[in-house]
Chain A
């Protein structure tokens, strides 16, 4: 099976712009989660989608949003970018049960200048 695929791998944006990141989960996985990883804060949970519905949400401002399509592919969007949004954004899929392990993609490295 192909692993979790994230595109693009690298992205450079300017403050105030908006960005959309994409994630294709492992075939058959219906749950997709997004995490932000920074050196200072580690991995912080953004949100989880299951069968096109947001199942869970972390403590991030409304500028961060996501969605999931009927084929389980997911996108996350960040509007009005700030310098502090620079991070590695990781997508992970799992079969569905909440204690099942996550399978991560290699992330999108976002730099905001």
Chain B
């Protein structure tokens, strides 16, 4: 069974701090996707990482795909209250469906 484990489960920080959240698996994934979900809404895609070792930047967000394509991380620099939300990683499973981690719930206080 392919599983994606995310850590930490919860994170509460002050505005301006940096943070990193992790997505790990014992399985290899051809690519990983990161989504953010805000209360009352569906998840929205942030980025897809495809190549082992790949680093992608989206403004203050930096995404990295592990060399072995089993893990990924998301680093946020100088977090803002607007970054508050549930961050989910997802990978394509062996049967073609997207498998999601349980997410990291981030709260950024002003």
Contacts and interface: CB of A to CB of B under 8 A. Distances in A.
B92 A99 contact: yes
A107 B62 CA distance: 28
Given A92-B42, A102-B45, A106-B41, A45 B103 contact: no
A105 B42 contact: yes
Contacts of A99: 30-31, 92
Report which residue of B42, B43, B96 has the largest number of chain A beta carbons within 10 angstroms of its beta carbon. Answer: B42
A58 B41 contact: no
A44 to B, nearest CB: 8
A33 to B, nearest CB: 7
A60 B20 CA distance: 34
A43 interface: yes
A58 B103 contact: no
A92 B35 CA distance: 13
Report which residue of B33, B90, B96 has the largest number of chain A beta carbons within 10 angstroms of its beta carbon. Answer: B96
The interface size bin for chain B is 20 to 34
A104 B30 contact: no
A4 B41 CA distance: 11
Contacts of B43: 43, 90, 102, 104
A104 B37 CA distance: 10
Interface string A26-53: 0000000101000001110100100000
A101 B42 contact: no
B95 A43 contact: no
A71 interface: no
Given A42-B102, A102-B43, 13 more contacts: A33-B97, A42-B100, A42-B103, A45-B97, A90-B42, A98-B96, A101-B45, A101-B48, A102-B45, A102-B90, A104-B35, A104-B42, A106-B40
10 contacts: A33-B98, A35-B100, A43-B43, A43-B88, A45-B98, A92-B42, A98-B92, A99-B30, A101-B33, A106-B40
